[in-house]
Amino acid sequence: MEIAATGLCAPKSRAGAPGARIDLVLLGAVFALGALGLVMVYS
């Protein structure tokens, strides 16, 4: 099965909305991992 053949790679007409908000969930996870790393390395 090829992805292109199933239409998975087909572009959609929806345009990107400029000024959209960043992903706060991803940002939170990255900060939590970084904070845990700091605590683990320096404790």
Partner 1 sequence: MTAVLKVGYRRLAPLAYPALIASVVLLALVLVPGIGSSAGGARRWLRLPGFSLQPAELAKFSLVLYLAYSLAKKREKVRFFSIGFLPHVLITFVLVLLALAEPDFGTAVALMLILFALLFASGAKVSYLVGSVLLALPVAYHLVARSPYRMKRILAFLDPWAHRHDVGYQISESLMSIGSGGVLGLGLGDGRQKLFFLPEAHTDFIFSIIGEELGLLGVVLVLGLFAVVLWRGIRASLNATEAFGAYLGLGLTVLLSAQAVVNMAVAMGMLPTKGLTLPFISYGGTSLCVCLASAGVLLSISQSRGGFLRPTTGGAR
CB of 32 to partner 1, least distance (A): 5
Q: In the complex, what is the shortest distance from the CB of residue 13 to partner 1, in angstroms, rounded to a whole number?
A: 9
From residue 12, give the alpha-carbon distance in Å to each of 3, 9, 17. Answer: 15, 9, 14
Quote the CA–CA distance of 23 and 43 in Å, as a whole number. Answer: 30
- For the segment 4-33, give every residue that binds partner 1 (CB under 8 A): 4-12, 14-17, 19-23, 25-30, 32-33
**Contact (CB, 8 A) for 3 and 9:** yes
Give the binding site for partner 1 (CB under 8 A). 1-12, 14-17, 19-23, 25-30, 32-34, 36-37, 39-41, 43
